[in-house]
Amino acid sequence: MKYLDEFRNPHAAKELLQSIKNEVRHHWQIMEICGGQTHAIMKYGIQDLLPKDIHLLHGPGCPVCVTPLSKIENALDLAARKNIIFCSFGDMLRVPGRDNDLLKVKAKGGDIRIVYSPMDALTIAKDNPENEVVFFAIGFETTAPATAMVAYQAKKENINNFSMLVSHVLVPPAIQAILSSPDCQIQGFLAPGHVCTVMGYQEYEPLAKEFKVPIVITGFEPVDLLQGLLTCITMMEEKDFSVNNQYGRSVQREGNVKAIELMQTVFKSSDREWRGIGSIPKSGFDLQDAYKKFDAELKFGLAQTKNREDSRCIAGEVLMGSRKPTDCTAFGNSCTPESPLGAPMVSAEGACSAYFRYRE
Amino acid sequence: MCLAIPGKIMEIQEGAPFDRKGKVSFGGTIREVHLGYVQDAKIGDYVNVHAGFAIAIINEKEAAATLALWNEAAEKEELRRKS
């Protein structure tokens, strides 16, 4: 397929690995933020191909993993209600709440529909005027424009039986939180290519400068990842603390201006709880006042509950890169994709599911 | 979740800017895609698609430059292997 296959060229991959071996002169710790990149790294065995001096850490770029437990409980509450059609991305269906998940609610008769696009949820609302339709709006900045467009259309067309449970999260505040942590060992970052396709990379420049780390905008195909790693290693060796775009076919510095404008119209940034990690300031999106009628929490009077996680689950430490999934005592025995204790074992982008799938 | 897939625009249904939609081919599989965020996209362009929305037009020049770099790297590797 064009623009995919060429970026999987094994000869180019081998040459890039050789260049990496030639370039490395010190021990380095690099974090990739995006769960999609974590999975690609595991799938193509990239960590094992790299020189032993390069240590890859996996960041919290898995929106399914970081959706706060209280939002999951809200989702379970709404999905079980008789008159509600609850629409969600497929990933969320097996994320464990306190003692339940959406798939179990569906099995008990909840009308839960898997959608590929938020637009599908709006179509369902238009086709079912006698039901309330709620869309579970999770995702990073890559997905927020889709939610924003749906909110914009819903308002324009006055679709009153539609609302959203909003739980979008933002990458730069997470990088800031990770770098500000006193035991942060990370010396370079691979920034998520599709988040940056939408947002551009202006927000990353002050971070690179303040914390003295190179940040390399990287794609998702194996050759893209090796290119990103080679660039990051070269920059660390040369003490080049800036942002470098290695996904130029998709990313421009200013991002997608129309998408950014519409997101600013529909959303405002807010403090957000990240599951397993805690609250990160200004790291999420809430609906602006003009769009509040589409806020499912307001519409249905949902409470914010404080819940306890399973004590065996170390998801928070895995998400911040301070522990590996294999460090967890429950990994592979009491926690598996079939019976997960936490979200990173369920999500297609979670580090735990990547390790389970590609290492065992 | 944050994966976007490249596809080729085959058809465009014009409308108000934020109503723009089209048919995009992903290696032969055709899906309807929202084109409201790629106002300059034309038939034949490749776009990166996520959750039913095109989020960028793939920059052919940049892609070609990257591929040229890697093709050069691949040739170097093959020469080294054969020697």
Which of A2, A118, A139 lies at the smallest CB-CB distance from B1? A139
Q: What is the mean pLDDT of residues A255-274?
A: 97
- Using CA atoms, how far residue A148 sits from A95, A155, A168, A265, in Å, is 24, 11, 11, 8
Cα–Cα distance measured from residue A44 to residue B14, given in angstroms and rounded to the nearest whole number: 41
ipTM attached to this prediction: 0.92
Half-sphere exposure of A139 (CA within 13 A, CB side): 28
Predicted local distance difference test score (pLDDT) of residue B9:
97
Predicted local distance difference test score (pLDDT) of residue A98:
86
Which of A6, A15, A194 lies at the smallest CB-CB distance from B50? A194
| Beta-carbon separation of B36 and A220 below 8 A | no
Identify the band that residue B1 occupies on the pLDDT scale cut at 50, 70 and 90: low
Residue the block writes with tokens 């998940």: A101
Cα–Cα distance measured from residue A223 to residue A48, given in angstroms and rounded to the nearest whole number: 15
Query: How distant is the Cα of A231 from the closest Cα of chain B, in angstroms?
Result: 13
Residue-wise pLDDT for A61-75, tens only, equals 999 999 999 999 999
Q: Check pLDDT > 90 for residue A211.
A: yes
Q: Check pLDDT > 70 for residue A360.
A: no
Q: Which residues of chain B lie closer than 8 angstroms to A11, CB-CB?
A: 73-75, 77-78
CB atoms within 10 A of CB A142: 29
Q: Check pLDDT > 60 for residue A340.
A: yes
Token pair of A164 as six digits: 């959203």
Residue the block writes with tokens 């999260």: A169
Write out the E strands in A28-146. Answer: 28-34, 54-61, 84-88, 111-114, 132-139
Neighbour order of strands in the sheet with A243-245: A54-61, A28-34, A188-192, A215-218, A243-245
Q: Check pLDDT > 80 for residue A32.
A: yes
Q: What is the mean pLDDT of residues B46-64?
A: 94
Strand A278-287 to B5-13 pairing? unpaired
Neighbour order of strands in the sheet with A132-139: A111-114, A84-88, A132-139, A162-168
Which of A3, A9, A61 lies at the smallest CB-CB distance from B6? A3
Instruction: Report the predicted TM-score, pTM, of the whole model to 2 decimal places.
Output: 0.93
Residue-wise pLDDT for A303-337, tens only, equals 887 777 888 999 988 988 889 999 999 999 999 99
| Beta-carbon separation of A117 and B27 below 8 A | no
CA A253 to chain centre: 21
Residue of A nearest to B16 (CA): A153
